[in-house]
Structure 1
Amino acid sequence: MTSKEATVVISSAGRRLYLIDWFREAFEALGIDGRVVVAENDATSSSASYGDVARHLPRYTDSDYGPELLRLADELDAKIFISLNDYELMHIHVNTGLAESLRRRGVLVPGVSPAWQTGCADKLQMARLLDSVGVPTPSTVAGGDEAGLAELTSRADEFVVKHRFGSGSSGLELVTGSHINQAVTKSLLSAPATGRAPTADDVVVQPKLPGVEHGVDIVASLRDRGSLTALLARRKIRMRSGETDKAVTVDRGPFMRASELIARAADLTGLIDVDMFLDAAGHVSVIDINPRFGGGYPFVHLAGANVPLYYLAQALDLDIDQGWSRYDSDVVSAKYESIRVTGPNPR
């Protein structure tokens, strides 16, 4: 072991136990005396007792969440804080100053600027942000925008209807132009709570894109905002519950220009998971951004990439070569089920 030490805090890890394992492996590869602290509000979640240290953290909506998070970071001398929950990320990056409070303590917090974090949670705003920096994205119209819908249906035959403020593929339905209003009404029945009665503007409509959907991890320096350091790409073969279930790694080349524009415009630090369509002519369109480790990262990790290794090297000012960003193409991987005991019998 070296004299270096590191504590990584992962909040809302949920079912992604593999990420905890990969940080442990990165500690070992670098000769670091490190630990993964898993912070959860549910002590019986799959990941809560899987880390080297388990800590209870109130829900992000709780008034005690902020003070407890900062207390945890100070007590454990955290080097990196990672959340895998979209709503928690909104809370720390936009609704409060928690992300910057952690950074002032020397904790690296991957993410995007507040404006882009807001856009990641609002698919209509995201389309406008992408368009403003020259990144191709499908025309996006709110479900209540009658003029916009009329213009959209004059140019396309098939459409995607989905939740404007949803996560994953929530509320998604593929329809023809004559069924858009019906699909919007149906999507509203399951729209995420916003503290008010849902309206048609809580749903967005886009033309169905030609081509094949890909997942692309855009990785930037954790210290130099907007500085692109790697691109990791896979073609989606099968989806399950809005998450990639099977994929094959592919060449990153077609996605480079859009990724450079996004990294710079979003003041990116660390990794974000981006959904892109690639058509037969090689044209790329961005349809969604998840500002965190997404469900597609495992496919490139198993093919050779190693973002946890890069994160630790950045946190501890260690020099490593670009091997962490290399992966083999044409590697097919698929997810599978597992289960573990997470608490005593409640009876």
Structure 2
Amino acid sequence: MNLLLTSAGRRGYLVNYFKEALGDGGEVHVANSVNSTAMMYGDKSVITPLIYDENYIPFLKNYCLVNHIEAIIPLFDIDLPILTNNIKVFKDIGVNVIVSNKEIINICNDKWETYKFLITNDFQTPKTFLKVSDALNAIEQGNINFPLIIKPRWGMGSISIFDADNSNELEVLFEKVKKDIQDSLLLYESNQENQLSVLIQEKLSGQEYGLDIINDLNGKYMNTIVKKKYAMRSGETDIAETSKDEALELVGKSLATFTNHIGNLDVDAFVVDGVSYILEMNARIGGGYPFSHYAGVNLPKAIVSWLKQEKVDPAILKAKIGVIGYKDIQIIGEDPVSSMQKYEEAIPL
């Protein structure tokens, strides 16, 4: 079985996890639109057209045919809507795309849709607004207070996220985020509603958690792994501890039931005075997953088994409690000749 991880970026650890899950039973191919560190870990790697390029899907389709790929696993938010719209294209050539349906991807990628989904289904979430005037009215009525968070509606990581401590900062930073969006890769999705592309959100003060909510490839709920966050860097968790929290586990199970997502749903949550709030949802393996993996969870192995129609031992989707993980920074390199040879061999004919 050969797998293709798309938009892998710097997630070399995920490449290794899938290589370990496959063992001698196949290859892990790594794709990215620019040269990246994760590509150095793949059995084969390839540079693709940009995600929004009209040649992106034809390129991936041809690559899958030439390299006998059986499943595509996207690792980047922007990749998800493109691939979910083309599930049938790949299914027709015998390739599974491990991605949730179009509706769930839209809810997760669009933070305003996330907010509406959570409110509609009775989940607690920070009060959120699309207009400065609405936020200021809420302050006047005593419903929220400064500071407020300003961020892109279709955002990721920590791109253009600011705190506003007063109305002047709110208005200035709101316009700044709008401009930043137009100068970044967030431009494409934000063009759906360019004048409503910025969110203003209540800032919570409490303990932050990350949830890995795991469903199988049919959308059946399997487990929720709770991680207490101790440090963040550039929108990703730097230090975290696996925790036992029945309230958050119930939230995870409820979200899985409402979404019927595929694979992992990466969720950011806050607990404030004993109340669990959901901030954001990402319908993919997120940057916090390594902490679950380090504590004994093996989602890549489960995915490989599900693809093979094999039974999965529930134990491999459970984490040891109290395991603290730390992300590290290291320099890696590759011989230029062998590196180029690997990439050239991976390019489809």
The letter of the residue matching 1:91 is I
Aligned match of 1:273? 266
Q: For 2:157, which of 164, 168, 175 is the aligned residue?
A: 168
Q: Assess if the C-alpha contact under 8 Å between 1:232 and 1:252 holds in 2.
A: no
Q: TM-score, normalised by structure 1?
A: 0.87
Aligned match of 2:56? 65
| SS of equivalent residue, structure 2 residue 40 | coil
Q: For 1:190, which of 171, 180, 185 is the aligned residue?
A: 180
Aligned runs of 1:96-107 on 2, under 5 Å?
Answer: 97-107=85-95
Alpha-carbon shift at residue 111 of structure 1 (Å)? 2.7
Structure 2 distance, partners of 1:121, 1:213, is 20
Gaps of at least 5 residues in structure 2 are 338-349
Residues 252 and 110 of structure 1: CA distance in aligned 2, closer, same or farther (over 3 Å): farther
Percentage of matched positions with identical amino acids: 27
| SS of equivalent residue, structure 1 residue 86 | coil
Alpha-carbon shift at residue 342 of structure 1 (Å)? 4.7
Aligned match of 1:79? 70
Alpha-carbon shift at residue 252 of structure 1 (Å)? 4.6
**1:155 counterpart = 2:143:** yes
| SS of equivalent residue, structure 1 residue 275 | strand
Structure 1 distance, partners of 2:191, 2:308, is 45
Q: For 2:239, which of 227, 246, 249 is the aligned residue?
A: 246
**1:258 counterpart = 2:246:** no
Structure 1 distance, partners of 2:238, 2:193, is 31
**1:13 counterpart = 2:8:** yes
Residues 26 and 157 of structure 1: CA distance in aligned 2, closer, same or farther (over 3 Å): same
Aligned runs of 1:275-290 on 2, under 5 Å?
Answer: 275-281=268-274, 283-290=275-282
Alpha-carbon shift at residue 83 of structure 1 (Å)? 1.3
Alpha-carbon shift at residue 343 of structure 1 (Å)? 6.5
Structure 1 distance, partners of 2:69, 2:306, is 14
Structure 2 distance, partners of 1:129, 1:183, is 26
Structure 2 distance, partners of 1:24, 1:196, is 38
**Higher helix proportion (structure 1 or 2):** 2
Which deviates more from structure 2 when the two are superposed, residues 10-19 or residues 334-343? 334-343
Structure 1 distance, partners of 2:170, 2:322, is 38
Structure 2 distance, partners of 1:187, 1:39, is 30
| SS of equivalent residue, structure 2 residue 260 | coil
Q: For 2:40, which of 42, 49, 52 is the aligned residue?
A: 49
Alpha-carbon shift at residue 297 of structure 1 (Å)? 0.4
| SS of equivalent residue, structure 1 residue 111 | coil
Aligned match of 2:343? none
Gaps of at least 5 residues in structure 1 are 1-5
**1:130 counterpart = 2:130:** no
Q: Assess if the C-alpha contact under 8 Å between 2:16 and 2:41 holds in 1.
A: no
Alpha-carbon shift at residue 308 of structure 1 (Å)? 0.6
Residues 104 and 218 of structure 1: CA distance in aligned 2, closer, same or farther (over 3 Å): farther
| SS of equivalent residue, structure 2 residue 14 | helix
The letter of the residue matching 1:131 is I
Structure 1 distance, partners of 2:301, 2:327, is 22
The letter of the residue matching 1:328 is K
How many corresponding residue pairs? 330
Residues 317 and 235 of structure 1: CA distance in aligned 2, closer, same or farther (over 3 Å): same
| SS of equivalent residue, structure 2 residue 45 | strand
**1:327 counterpart = 2:315:** no
Q: Assess if the C-alpha contact under 8 Å between 2:226 and 2:249 holds in 1.
A: no
Q: Assess if the C-alpha contact under 8 Å between 1:8 and 1:78 holds in 2.
A: yes
| SS of equivalent residue, structure 2 residue 305 | helix
Aligned runs of 1:202-213 on 2, under 5 Å?
Answer: 202-213=197-208
Structure 2 distance, partners of 1:309, 1:109, is 16
Structure 2 distance, partners of 1:104, 1:137, is 40
| SS of equivalent residue, structure 1 residue 61 | coil
